[in-house]
Amino acid sequence: MTVAWAFDAILAATVLAVACWTMAIRDTFAAVVGFVAYGLLLALVWVRLTAPDVALTEAAIGGGLTGVLLLGAAARLRPAQAAAAAETPGLALRLVTGVGCALISAALAAAVLLLPDPAPSLAPAAVADLPAIGVGNPITGVLMAYRALDTLLETVVLLLGLIGVWSLTPDSFWGGVPGPQHPARTDDALVFLARLLPPVGIVIGVYLLWVGKDEPGGAFQGGALLAAMWLLAMMAGLAKAPPTSRRWLRLVLVAGPLVFLAIGLAGLALAGAFLAYPEAYAKPLIMIIEVAKMLSVAATLGLLVAGSPERTPSR
């Protein structure tokens, strides 16, 4: 019974308790608070599993952005909450759902517990080829070099998600400003926070991008942090949400996937295969892609949480 075992036991018990409570509670606001708490605890779990990259992403996205997204959804659903609570599914449906969930949990548990020990792993091979690419972080190597196609498709999928959210706009507001109006007040504590925090957040976001080549970090985590800072400024009324019809906004949104695609196609000409990097230029090219990706991810995530346009732009 070592200290590490005790720590992990407390952590696992807390995560399970918070998850069960979040599912059981009826009030949506309380459930979202529980969900954000769950995200923060999961970041601790990832750190204990020695995956700091994933912990960074979980903290930024699960702890912050998803929570705020759910808060917005809960606020929009509040008028209908009474009606939704009144309709309870029948006993048969609940039994079937319960059995289905139990089966899935059992399958997942079996898959994890029956893993061969030691588990077959490609980690040594991934690390062995890193000097050729020039980055020191094996996660970045996998994301940007070995499986760059997956990362390119993921950036496009994120953009498609945003287009999906925008497609819910009523016709009269198309091209309008997302989110409710937040009045700016100059003597408020929130405005004070939104004045001091974003500069620090931007520095740390760029730091995460830069340090991601050799240490845990990367463009996605940095971009998520930038999006959170932008949303904070919007919530305090210090920054106005841009109308979705602005050309510069749309350019920033597509810059990431476009740069990635362009470098990939250039690789066809210069290095013989799509998304192959010429030998000596791998690291600078990866950095260019990461910078563009960070800006796009920041803009996309920020707009995803801001929601579909609700107001006409005031010209």
Partner 1 sequence: MAEFLLAAAAVVLAMVALGLVRILLGPSAVDRMMAAQLLGTGGIAVLLLLAQATGMSATIDVALTLALVAAFASAAFVKSAPGPDGPKAADEA
Partner 2 sequence: MSLVLDIFTVLAVSTGAFFFLAGTVGLLRFPDALARLHALTKADNLGLGLVVLGLLPRADGALGALKLIVVWLLVLLAGATVSQLLARVARRAGPSA
List residues near partner 2 by CB under 8 A.
Answer: 189-190, 192-193, 196-197, 200
Reduced to 3 states (helix: H, G, I; strand: E, B; else coil), residue 271 is coil
Q: Is-contact 297 208, C-beta < 8 A?
A: no
Span near partner 1 by CB under 8 A; candidates 37-45, 92-100, 147-155, 294-302: 37-45
> Per-residue x/- marks for partner 1, 225-264, CB under 8 A?
x--xx-xx--xx----------------------------
Distance CA 176, CA 310 (A): 7
Rank residues 148 and 236 by Cβ distance to partner 2 and give the closer one: 236
192 binds, among partner 2, partner 1, none (CB under 5 to 8 A by kind): partner 2
Question: Should residue 135 be labelled a site residue for partner 1 when binding is judged by CB under 8 A?
Answer: no
Nearest CB to partner 2, comparing residues 237 and 313: 237
Provide CB contacts within 8 A for 66, sequence distance 6+.
35, 39
Q: Which residues lie closer than 8 Å to 261 by C-beta, 6 or more apart? A: 152
* Cα–Cα dist 12/17, whole Å: 9
Using CB under 8 A as the binding rule, whether residue 47 contacts partner 1 is answered as yes
Contact between 300 and 162 (Cβ < 8 Å): yes
Provide, rounded to whole angstroms, the least separation between the CB of residue 133 and partner 1. Answer: 20
Read off the tokens for 169.
């706009």
Window 163-202: residues binding partner 1 (CB under 8 A):
180-183, 185, 187-188, 190, 193-194, 197, 200-201
Q: Which of residues 57-116 bind partner 1 (CB under 8 A)?
A: 59-60, 63-64, 67-68, 71-72, 74-75, 78
Which structure tokens are listed for 270?
Answer: 């210069």
Specify the residue for token string 């971009």. 223
